[in-house]
Amino acid sequence: MIAPPTTVDGFVTEFLLNLAQDRGVTLQDSTVDDRYLALVRTVRGHLAARRLETERAPRERKTICYLSAEYLLGRQLDNSLLATGLEDIAAEALAACGVDLDELRAHEIEPGLGNGGLGRLAACFVDSMATLGVSSIGYGIRYEYGIFRQSFENGQQVEHPDAWMRGGSPWEFPRPERARIIRFGGAEDGWAVRAVPYDFVVPGYRSGAGILRLWSAEALEPLDLPAFNAGDYERAVRAKTFAENLSKVLYPDDSSPQGKELRLQQQYFFAAASVGDVVDDLLAGGGTLDDLPERAIFQLNDTHPVIAVPELMRLLIDEHDLGWDTAWAITQRCFAYTCHTLLPEALEVWPVDLLRRLLPRHLDIIYRINEEFLLTVRERLGEERVAAMSIIAESPVRAVRMAHLATIAGVKVNGVAELHSQLLRDAVLPDFAEFFPQKFTNVTNGVTPRRFLRLANPALSALITEAIGDGWVTDLERLRELEPFAEDAAFRDAFAQVKAGNKKRLNDVLRVRDRTEIDEEHLLDVMVKRLHEYKRQLLRLLHVVDTYEGVVSGRVAASALQPRAVLFGAKAAPGYVMAKRIIHLINAVAGVVNDDARLEGRLRVLYPANYDVTLAERVIPAADLSEQISQAGKEASGTGNMKFALNGALTIGTDDGANVEIRQLVGDENFFLFGMTEPEVAALAPAYRPGESVDAGARRALDLIASGAFSGGDRSVFEPIVTNLLTEDRYMVLADYRAHADAQARVDAAYADPDAWTRAAVLNVARCGYFSSDRAIRDYQERVWG
């Protein structure tokens, strides 16, 4: 394969050829859609060449098979141009054709095949593995509809299907020749679907490539012809509809699994297809099953793909005639498990009845794995530990604990930040940590510097490169070399100008997308992440309301406020009623606060709908302040926190997740720490009575909300939020209120000295190189994959 030419003329030729051959139009007659698709086709040719080159190069023996139900990819065009080094050539070539590259960029629909941090992490990891030249393949589901599109009607969230493939899915390569049959049910009531893979090439930065293989479900027979001929059109396509439902839509829930049958079907569908794919590849390449652990490791991204464990056992025993012990010896060396949560309710548990119906053979295998495991538990730790460590929970219904299965089968189990890994050992899986002490390890998350600094923040990237060269793009620790520049007044000035410019770039988007804008002089205070009570958007909002109340009641002069724009971005799981109420309240507060002239425009609340990766890439570089205010011990890591710090926002945060490591690296003086620590939370929990000693500021905010001030006088609308805080307050918003408000006051004081603020922002950038996903992947290589 000869790589396509990488000259401007060559690019023009390819582009025009693709327009003609692929779209059947000339440049003059083409639509934006035609031009976008022809451009993708042109760039994709380079990706394919890169992929083939990578495949031909001598390979490491072991391939990392990343199993993840989610990949929150974001737009592909810019990243592909950057990775292939075609940025300038493409821009020149298109300009020569009179085509506006920005218009084509804006035309791209991002594949939102993930809910939030977990899916975005998977996308960062495949990027880093490709860039580092790690032999790797990501496996997942090609959802026809990704995470829902959010709009607001009367301030309330409305969900719309995300038809990301409506213009086709031009980046992928269908691989029908690798399709596999996936069977469900037992001998008598069995049914099957076809899993068809579609490959996305994941280009490494300037070299290397990986594959992201996403499985799509199809019926074995697309049409029941006799039924059709008999005029029963519904029955004629029933099997097709049923099969396609499997990969139809991403479950829009993070942190609280739904326990729905279709979800388990999805999980088995992609896990079985992926495991089968890897085993077939091994055998086709002349390997034997004994070689499997040396040639592949399946990294389980949370519990979603854990059904792959009994599936590999089934494959080895039933289809390849290995004995149980041999199969188990192989299987136990082929998996590693990453846990991404601390919320007990987020650890998946599947009812035995459901498994018996859907995957009876797998249930038998799980029982036997459990039986043998519990024998050793009895022997070493005694009978009294058996119930807690069993894979099978007995109540409220008999169910399979997927985290236990993953821990027993995995060579390693890791958490995603130091604090999380420690709590995983001490609080979530303590018996297992005692039983398998050598299995537990930590790999702190990271984010790709290509997308979240180099592409998202071109001006800062240029400034950094001017100062220290461009080595940081693949070696982010080199940002350390920026530290001396924090003392350089001219550099600080340039840095502040970059931030100001990024606020303008954000406004360019907000004006079109949301018909709103921020005041570029305001401190931009940002809280973007999924809407969940543990993340505590309410804590931020109560302080906004308290500030507002201060001005309208006359206690505080508007002129005394540090002008701020508080920007929220968050989707709530459609069935999460309280989260949706909180969204409503944020919008209601925004409506009132933004319209009240008494504030003299010094406090604004913005809530652009449908926060996604594309918007994140504009918001993060513009932010001054990053809100990371979860209850300590609840956020496993966070990755937004890393992106903000790398882009020069200062963090206001609790000692939670990766905040702890960010603060240690950037220094206490460059971070606004507040709130209870995890041990303090644990100590307070049993006796916590939120309504008994409410801080005066929080009380004013709650009273104002309860009065109907944000609901046209109707006191009932937000009453459940107020009552919940005063009586339950599961995540201790009220207990941390004063500490948070005081920290916000420290933020105001610090921002009043812009130069000192900028110095701290530069130091945040310089000291956060650790949070590259390249480093995280190296840690996996060292600590997990061997």
Query: Of 522, 502, 507, whose CA–CA distance to 563 is shortest?
Result: 522
Ramachandran assignment for 526, one of left (phi > 0), alpha (psi -120 to 50 degrees), beta (any other): beta
What does the alpha-carbon distance between residue 434 and residue 432 come to, in Å, rounded to a whole number?
Answer: 5
What does the alpha-carbon distance between residue 586 and residue 537 come to, in Å, rounded to a whole number?
Answer: 9
What does the alpha-carbon distance between residue 124 and residue 449 come to, in Å, rounded to a whole number?
Answer: 9
Specify whether 529 is catalytic.
yes
Q: With binding defined as CB under 6 A, does residue 637 bind ligand 9GP?
A: yes
Q: With binding defined as CB under 6 A, does residue 361 bind ligand 9GP?
A: no
| Least CB distance to ligand 9GP at residue 683 (A) | 23
From 529, 564, 602, 759, the catalytic residue: 529
Report the residue closest to ligand 9GP, judged by CB: 117
Specify whether 522 is catalytic.
no
SS3 assignment, position 335: strand
Beta bridge partners of 716: none
Characterize the bridge pairing of strands 625-628 and 650-653. Answer: parallel
Interface pattern 255-294 for ligand 9GP (x via CB under 6 A): x---------------------------------------
Q: Cβ of 323: how many Cβ atoms within 10 Å?
A: 10
Q: Judged by CB, which is closer to ligand 9GP: 124, or 666? A: 124
C-alpha torsion 555→604→585→615, nearest 10: -160
Specify whether 643 is catalytic.
yes
| Least CB distance to ligand 9GP at residue 340 (A) | 4
Specify whether 62 is catalytic.
no
| Least CB distance to ligand 9GP at residue 304 (A) | 9
What does the alpha-carbon distance between residue 509 and residue 511 come to, in Å, rounded to a whole number?
Answer: 5
Q: Judged by CB, which is closer to ligand 9GP: 47, or 616? A: 616
Q: With binding defined as CB under 6 A, does residue 121 bind ligand 9GP?
A: yes
From 46, 51, 340, 775, the catalytic residue: 340
Question: Which stretches of 179-290 are DSSP H helices?
Answer: 225-229, 233-236, 238-245, 261-284
Using the rule CB under 6 A, give the single segment among 110-118, 206-214, 350-358, 548-556 that binds ligand 9GP: 110-118
Q: Judged by CB, which is closer to ligand 9GP: 40, or 652? A: 652
169-178 b/e (C-beta count within 10 Å ≥ 16 → b): bbbbeeeeeb
Q: Judged by CB, which is closer to ligand 9GP: 358, or 428? A: 428
What does the alpha-carbon distance between residue 468 and residue 460 come to, in Å, rounded to a whole number?
Answer: 12
| Least CB distance to ligand 9GP at residue 659 (A) | 10
Within 405-434, the residues that bind ligand 9GP by CB under 6 A are 416
Distance of CA 396 to the CA centre of its chain: 31
Specify whether 530 is catalytic.
yes
Q: With binding defined as CB under 6 A, does residue 169 bind ligand 9GP?
A: no
Specify whether 331 is catalytic.
no
Q: Judged by CB, which is closer to ligand 9GP: 157, or 639? A: 639
Q: Both tokens of residue 411?
A: 């060579």
Interface pattern 644-663 for ligand 9GP (x via CB under 6 A): -------------x------
Q: Cβ of 529: how many Cβ atoms within 10 Å?
A: 25
Burial of 682 (0-12, 13-18, 19+ CB in 10 A): middle
User: Which single residue is written with the structure tokens 């023009």?
Assistant: 12
Supply angle C-alpha 469, 476, 411, rounded to 5. 155
Using the rule CB under 6 A, give the single segment among 143-151, 537-545, 633-641, 717-725 that binds ligand 9GP: 633-641
- The per-residue DSSP string of 267-298 comes to HHHHHHHHHHHHHHHHHHTT--GGGHHHHEEE
Of the residues 254, 277, 525, 533, which one makes contact with ligand 9GP according to CB under 6 A: 254
Query: Of 139, 427, 390, whose CA–CA distance to 276 is shortest?
Result: 139
| Least CB distance to ligand 9GP at residue 64 (A) | 17
Question: How many chain residues bind ligand 9GP (CB under 6 A)?
Answer: 18
Using the rule CB under 6 A, give the single segment among 96-104, 117-125, 456-464, 699-707 that binds ligand 9GP: 117-125
| Least CB distance to ligand 9GP at residue 721 (A) | 22
From 75, 194, 530, 775, the catalytic residue: 530
Interface pattern 310-349 for ligand 9GP (x via CB under 6 A): ------------------------------xx----x---
Question: Which stretches of 448-574 are DSSP H helices?
Answer: 449, 458-468, 489-514, 537-552
Query: Of 438, 432, 329, 450, whose CA–CA distance to 389 is shortest?
Result: 432
Of the residues 4, 74, 116, 690, which one makes contact with ligand 9GP according to CB under 6 A: 116
Of the residues 42, 63, 444, 445, which one makes contact with ligand 9GP according to CB under 6 A: 445
Chain residues that interact with ligand 9GP, rule: CB under 6 A: 116-118, 121, 254-255, 302, 340-341, 346, 416, 445, 635-639, 657
Any idea which residues carry the catalytic annotation?
Answer: 340, 529-530, 535, 639, 643
